Structure 1
Amino acid sequence: MRLALPTAVLVTALTACSAAPPAAVTPVQATPSSTPSVTASAMPRASAGAGEGLPAKLRFTQIAQFDKPVAFAVRKGDDAVYIAEQGGRLHAVKGARTTMIVDLSAEVSKGNEQGLLGVAFHPSGKWLYLDWTDAEGTTHVTEWAFDGTTAKQRRDVLTQDQPYANHNGGQLAFGPDGYLYIGLGDGGGGGDPQGNGQKLTTWLGKILRIDPRGEPYVVPEDNPFKDTRGARPEIWAYGLRNPWRFSFDKETGDLWIGDVGQDSWEEVDHEPRGRGGRNYGWNAFEGDRPFDQGVEAEAAVEPVITYQLGEGGSCSVIAGYVYRGTKIPGLRGHFLYGDFCAGWIRAAPVDDPARTVEVGKVEQLSSFGQGNDSELYALSLQGPVYRVDAP
C-alpha cells in the first residue's frame, strides 16, 4: 500500500534529513540536473507546439534554509515571505533577516504526515491561518490576529478528528472570492476504508470553503451543498484522496488541485472559477482509471494530468501555480507541478495541460509558493527554499 504525501519514502526523509537551525542564507545558484522523463496523459489531448518558447531549464536560487519547510505564504502589503516548518514553526523572511512568528513545536504531532502543514493570510492581511495536527492527530485550522510583527488572539476556526495518521491534506488558500479553502484527505488507511471520499456527510476527502471571520466561521450562501439534506454545508469539492497542495490562477481564478494517488496514478485536477460541487472520483477512480468498481462516483470529473507511479522514481504529486509573473516570459500561462520523490518539475500550458515539459529538478520537493509579484518559489524538505528564476 502506498501512503499519500508524505509517502513511505518521506518517512526516511523525515527521520534521516538533518537540517541546520532555521536561518536566512546568502542566495546561491542551484542548477537543476536532467531527470528521466515522466509521461503525462490527460483530457483534452495534447496539440502540437504546446510548450514552445519555454526555457529549457529554469534556475533555482536559494534564498533561505529551514528545517523541513513544507508551506509558503505572502501577506498583502508585506515584503516578507512566510515559511512553515513541518515541526511547528512559522518564520518570516525579509532579505537576510529571519523572524519566528508562531511556534507550535510543543503541540504538533510528529508523525511523518503530521505537523504544521499549511499557512495562509486573510486578503486584508490582518489575520493569519495555520493548518496543523495536534498530539492526538486532530487537524486544527487556527487563526491569529497579525499586525506584521506579532501574532495574538489565537482561536480555532475548526477542527477535524483523523481516524488514521496519514492523508491529512493541509493546504490553506484564499480564493479570488475572498473565502478560505481548506484541503482534507480521506482520513487515511489504504484505499479509503471508510469510504469518505464519496460521502457528503464528512469533511474528509474534501476541499472546504468558508468565511473564517465568524463565530467560529460562516458558510457562504452559494456553497454547492449548503441546502443539500444530510450534506456538510462547508464542502466545496469532494472525491479527493489527499489534496496536499492546490492553488488559484491569479488571472482566471481557476483552481488547480494536486491529488496524491494510491498505488498506480498521480493526478492534477482543474476546476474553472466558481464551479463548486465537483466530484473528482476517489475512491471509485485513481487518476482516470477505475480503482474500486464497487463504488459509485456520480458525475466524476476526470483529471487533466495523470502520470504513473514509479516512472522516474515518482511517488507523490506536488501541485504548484500557474505562472503569471513577468521575469520568465516563456513560462507565462503554464501550470508548474512536480513530484516529491523524483524531484522533477514540469510546466503544462493551461489550455493544453497534457502537453508537459520538464523544466527543472528540486530534491525532495515539498511545496511551491507564489510571491506578491506573482514570481514563484520551490521548497525542499531537505531545507532549502528556492526562488524560481530564468536560466
Structure 2
Amino acid sequence: MRLALPFAVLVAALTACSATPTADTTPASPPPSPAAPSLAVSPTSGASVNAGQGLQGKLRFTQIARLDKPVALAVRAGDEALYIAEQGGRLHAVKGGATTQIIDLSAEVSKGNEQGLLGVAFHPSGRWLYLDWTDAEGDTHVTEWAFDGTKATGRRDVLTQEQPYANHNGGQLAFGPDGHLYIALGDGGSGGDPEGNGQDLGTWLGKILRIDPRGEPYKVPDDNPFAGRRGAEPEIWAYGLRNPWRFSFDRQTGDLWIGDVGQNAWEEVDHEPRGRGGNNYGWNAFEGDRPFDESVDIGKAVAPVITYPLGEGGNCSVIAGYVYRGTKIPGLRGHFLYGDFCAGWIRAAPADDPAKGVEVGKVEQLSSFGQDHDGELYALSLQGPVYRVDGP
C-alpha cells in the first residue's frame, strides 16, 4: 500500500516508490512464452446479480466521524461501537456520535509512509482485541489485549516479523468463518521482491497467515495447507502476494477476497473459495495477470478475478472491500465493493462475475472499508472522514 504522502505527490511518485523496477511501465505486456508459468482462473461463487444496474454514481457516503488518518475498522460481538484504527497509533471506539480512545501506541509505532497502526480485529467471542502495527525499527507486531468493552489489559505479542524494508507491510487482520485469525504480510518491500519472498514458503513475507491466537503464543491449525511440510512455514495459508493491504471474508459464503497492490503496471483482486488454502497468487512471476519476472519458475498460479492498470486515471493502490450482504441497499446485494487510493473511485462488481464492475461513487484517499454487524458497509479516507455507505 502507498499511504501518507499528499495526494498530488503520491500520484507523481507511483513508480519512484518501487526501487529498481523490472517490469515494463506500460499497461501492455507480451503474452507468456511457452515456458512461462500459467495462471488458473479461480471460480467465484454467490447468487447471480445484475452488474450494478441502477447503482452507477448513486451511492451516498455519509460522514459519521472524523479521525486522524483512519486506516482500519472492526466490530466486536455484542457491542454497537465501531472500532477504528488511526495510522498514527491510536484505536478509537465510535458510538452514537461520540469517540473514545481505547489504546494509544503513538509513542511506539514507526512513522513511515506504509508503517504505523495498520489493522484491527476482535476474537469472535469479543473477549480479545488484536492490532497489527510496526514498531520503531519498522518490524511488524500482532499484539493481543483482553478487552471488556471499556479497558484493554494484559498486553502480549502473538507474533512478530522482521521487515527488511519500510514498505509492503500488509497489515490486515480478520477472523475467518472458521474462527481462526488471518494475517496479511507484504513481500518485505523495496521493488520487484528482491529477496524472492513471495514464492518462498520458508518465510511469512508475501503471505496470508492463519493461526489460532489463543495459544503460547499461538497455535497452528492442523489443517493449514503447509502444516508438516518440510521447508515451509506452517502458519502460511496463501502465498505469492506482493502487498495484500486489505482482504475480507464474504459473510454469506465464507469466500476470501484479497486486494494485492501492484508494482508499476497492474492492480489486482484475488478470490479464494471458502476453505481452499494453499493457493499461489503469482507474485513475483506475475503482476496481475501479466508476466513480471519470467525467470521465476512457479508452474501454475491462481489468476486474479479483477485487474486494472496502475497509473491510468491516477490509479495507484487497490483497496479491497466487502461483498455487500446488508439490507439497506437492495441493488447492491451480492456485489463486491472495492476502490483505488489515489483515483478515489469505488466500484461494485457482481460476486459471480467480478470483472463487470461499475463505478458507484468516489472517496478521496480511500484507505479501507469496514463492515458492521448487519452487513452494512463503511469507507475510510486517509484525509480523516469515516463514511457510512448509503443507497440512493
Q: Is the 8 A contact 2:131 2:142 kept in 1?
A: yes
CA distance in 2, matches of 1:195, 1:9: 31
1:141 aligns with 2:142: yes
- Distance in 1 of aligned mates of 2:332 and 2:186: 31
Match of 2:201 in 1: 200
The aligned counterpart of 1:92 is 93
Distance in 2 of aligned mates of 1:374 and 1:207: 24
Measured in 2, the distance between the counterparts of 1:286 and 1:346 equals: 21
Give the Cα–Cα distance (whole angstroms) in 2 for the partners of residues 232 and 333 of structure 1: 35
SS of the aligned residue for 1:93 comes to strand
Contact conserved, 1:45 with 1:352, CA < 8 A, in 2? no
Alignment of 1:44-59 (within 5 A): 50-54=51-55, 56-59=57-60
Matched, 1:6 2:3: yes
Structure 1 residue 299 displacement after superposition = 2.0
* Aligned 8 A contact 2:62 2:388 in 1: yes
**Contact map agreement 2:318 2:340 (CA 8 A) in 1:** yes
Following superposition, the deviation at residue 57 of structure 1 comes to 1.5
- In the TM superposition, what whole-angstrom CA distance separates every residue of 1:183-208 from its partner, at most 9, and x where no partner exists? 00000011000000000000000000
- Which amino acid in structure 1 is aligned with residue 331 of structure 2? G
- Aligned counterpart, 1:260: 261
Residue 152 of structure 1 aligns with an amino acid whose one-letter code is T
- Is residue 240 of structure 2 the alignment partner of residue 239 of structure 1? yes
2:72 maps to amino acid: A
* Distance (Å, rounded) in 2 between the aligned partners of 1:9 and 1:282: 28
Shift of 1:48: 11
Task: Say what the alpha-carbon RMSD is for the aligned residues.
Answer: 2.0
1:173 matched to 2:170? The reply is no
- The 3 A distance-change label for structure 1 pair 108 and 306 is same
Question: Which residue does 1:284 correspond to in 2?
Answer: 285
Preserved contact between residue 43 and residue 305 of structure 1 (Cα < 8 Å): no
Counterpart in 2 of 1:185? Answer: 186
Code of the residue aligned with 1:6 in structure 2: it is L
Checking the alignment, whether the CA contact within 8 Å between 2:181 and 2:211 is kept in structure 1 is yes
Q: Which amino acid aligns with 1:216?
A: P
Partners of 1:264 and 1:201 lie apart in 2 by: 28
Alpha carbons 2:56, 2:359 under 8 Å: kept: no
Equivalent residues of 2:71, 2:84 under 8 A apart: yes
1:73-111 Cα distance to aligned partner (Å, 9 max, x none): 000010100110000000000112111000000000000
SS of equivalent to 2:198: helix
Matches of 1:93 and 1:11, distance apart in 2:
30
Contact 1:44/1:352 (<8 A) preserved: no
Query: After superposition, where does 1:16-35 map in structure 2 within 5 Å?
Result: none
Residue identity in the other structure for 1:354: A
Distance between the aligned counterparts of 2:286 and 2:358, measured in 1?
26
Q: How many residues align?
A: 361
How far residue 310 of structure 1 moved from its aligned partner, in angstroms, is: 1.3
Task: Give the equivalent residue in structure 2 for 1:215.
Answer: 216
Structure 2 partner of 1:304? 305
Summarize the alignment of residues 101-140 of structure 1 with structure 2, pairs less than 5 Å apart: 101-140=102-141
2:212 alignment partner AA: D
Q: TM-score, normalised by structure 1?
A: 0.89
The residue matched to 1:79 in structure 2 has which SS? coil
For residues 288 and 67 of structure 1, do their structure 2 counterparts lie closer, same or farther at Cα, with a shift above 3 Å needed? same
Distance in 2 (CA, whole Å) between partners of 1:367 and 1:232 is 29
Q: Does 1:346 align with 2:343?
A: no
Deviation at 1:56, TM superposition (A): 4.1
Note the C-alpha offset of 1:298.
Answer: 3.0
Superposed structure 1 runs of 4+ greater than 2 Å apart: 4-13, 42-56
Q: Secondary structure of the residue that 1:90 maps to in structure 2?
A: strand
Unaligned runs of 5+ in 2: 11-39
CA 1:239–1:332 in 2, change beyond 3 Å: closer, same or farther? same
Maintained 8 Å contact 1:88/1:116: yes
Measured in 1, the distance between the counterparts of 2:125 and 2:8 equals 37
Q: Which residue matches 2:333? A: 332
| Shift of residue 113, structure 1, vs aligned partner | 0.5
Deviation at 1:311, TM superposition (A): 1.7
Instruction: Specify whether residues 308 and 346 from structure 1 end up closer, same or farther in structure 2 by C-alpha distance, changes over 3 A only.
Output: same
- Partners of 1:49 and 1:128 lie apart in 2 by 38
> What CA distance in whole angstroms lies between the structure 2 residues aligned with 1:342 and 1:182?
27
Amino acid at match of 1:137: G
Question: Compared with structure 1, are the counterparts of its residues 131 and 282 closer, same or farther at alpha carbon in structure 2 (3 Å cutoff)?
Answer: same
Gaps of at least 5 residues in structure 1 are 14-41
